[in-house]
Structure 1
Amino acid sequence: MVEVMVDLTEYERRGDFDAPFELTRKHERVQKESERIREAVRCDVGPLTWEAYIAGEPCPGCGLPYRDEKPWEFKGTMYFTEEERIRYDAEEVRFRKVHGDCHAMRHSVSGSLTMHCGKCCPSPPLSPRQIENLGRILGAPKQPHELMRWRLRLYCGHVVEKQSHYTHKTLHSAFTGSTSCPECGLDPATIVDGEAIGLVEEPPGVAKRVPAKSPRRPTAARKPTRAELEAKVRELEAEIERLRGS
């Protein structure tokens, strides 16, 4: 069992939720960059199954093979032989001719020269062993007391709540600086303001610590004023509406 004790002052706090919402040029620049990166790796073509891949079926996006019949050894261009240089340059020309306007990343399989477009061609499927290793690395599903709740204001203006593992103490490590908006569907949405607000649940067996107070002489309880009571009622009504909405 993992004992989780957190101090919210150790977590990044960005912006001011009480201030008027206003986008800056920096926010717009970061949003455009996030959209560019997302678009560069977005592929609407479904990948092959592992069985189809090992059977030698070609890429469902471009129709070319993932694994070339003629093997290719990846090494620095300065070490190419004349024949290797001709093959490499011909593949570069082919790729730019077909995918020069895609503005996407490229990928290929080890031992093969044929390059595939990140926008048009799905990546090769993971092997069963790779999936098993990833599952081992990611570990068991995280427990509620290991998840930190974050309050985020996004590029679209919506204020939402997201969760991340409590060990991520910056917005970049928790959400890579952007996330998707559950309100309007904007994806990616740059995080404009953010703050950690507490664990999803208290760790099991950990009682809330109440700081010790120095002894004081007992004083008579002060009767709240009418204005204070009305303010408390408004606060409770707002909390009820928030709970209904969630």
Structure 2
Amino acid sequence: MTVEYESQGLPLDAYQLSRADHRRQGEAEDIAAWVERQLAKAPPWSEERFRQLQELLGSHATPPPWEYMRWRVRLYCRHVQEVERHCRETRPDMGARDKCCSECGKNPAVIVAFEVIGPAAEPPAPPREKSRNTVSRGGRVGRRTKAELEAEDSELRVEVERLHRTVAE
């Protein structure tokens, strides 16, 4: 699966916020305020219900680090940061994923420019297959014949019998 990653602007260059950036930031702030109001109206959860939710969410396996892509992003507040997103996502601003700026604390801060940096980690090397080839007594590489295996079996049986007699003496 090949993913074509998108970019928008250059996060490290000077960036002028557009009307669309201001509109998206305003929408993100409105949504965050609405969510806060809804949460304030909600009845408090019991410890048991909270524990059940944690168990439910805890059972969701986090993908391994090599399934994430690193992105350099410029936030609405003009700060540049790195974020990680799943490697199937072609942009770091997909969905409702506004960031909280770790420098100034602006929350939410929409992503206004971004570029892909590279994988968050390298995948582990695939396990090497064990070779089915062996070296026969004649020194050649290849699969051993039935006659060779029977001869080796016979030699080993004689060796085991000799060891048994030595131990018995």
Find the counterpart in structure 1 of residue 76 from structure 2: 155
Is residue 39–residue 119 contact of structure 1 (8 Å, CA) maintained in 2?
Answer: no
Q: Taking structure 1 as reference, are residues 25 and 177 closer, same or farther at Cα in structure 2, changes over 3 Å only?
A: farther
Q: Does 1:202 align with 2:122?
A: yes
Other-structure match for 1:180: 100
Q: Is the 8 A contact 2:68 2:86 kept in 1?
A: yes
Change (3 A) 1:24 1:144: same
The answer to whether 1:169 aligns with 2:90 is: yes
1:29 aligns with 2:23: yes
Percent identity, aligned pairs only?
36
Distance 1:127 1:160, change over 3 A: closer
User: Structure 1 pair 129/17, CA: closer, same or farther in 2 (3 Å)?
Assistant: closer
What is the one-letter code of the residue matched to 2:79? H
TM norm structure 2 = 0.61
Aligned-residue offset at 1:168: 2.2
Paired with 1:127 and 1:187, the residues of 2 have a C-alpha distance of 25
- TM-score by length of structure 1 reads 0.44
Code of the residue aligned with 1:36 in structure 2: it is D
Cα deviation 1:67-121 (Å, max 9, x = unaligned): xxxxxxxxxxxxxxxxxxxxxxxxxxxxxxxxxxxxx34xxxxxxxxxxxx3344
Partner SS for 2:77:
coil
The unaligned stretches of length 5 or more in structure 2 are: 127-169
The answer as to whether partners of 2:74 and 2:114 remain within 8 angstroms in 1 is yes
Distance 1:130 1:159 in 2: 34
Q: CA RMSD in A?
A: 2.5
- Identify the residue that residue 5 of structure 2 maps to in structure 1: 11
**Residue 41 of structure 1: aligned partner:** 35
Measured in 2, the distance between the counterparts of 1:6 and 1:135 equals: 30
Aligned length: 124
User: Structure 1: where are the runs of 5+ without partners?
Assistant: 43-103, 106-117, 207-246
Residue of structure 1 equivalent to 2:130: none
Verify the 8 A CA contact 1:40 1:119 in the aligned structure 2. Answer: no
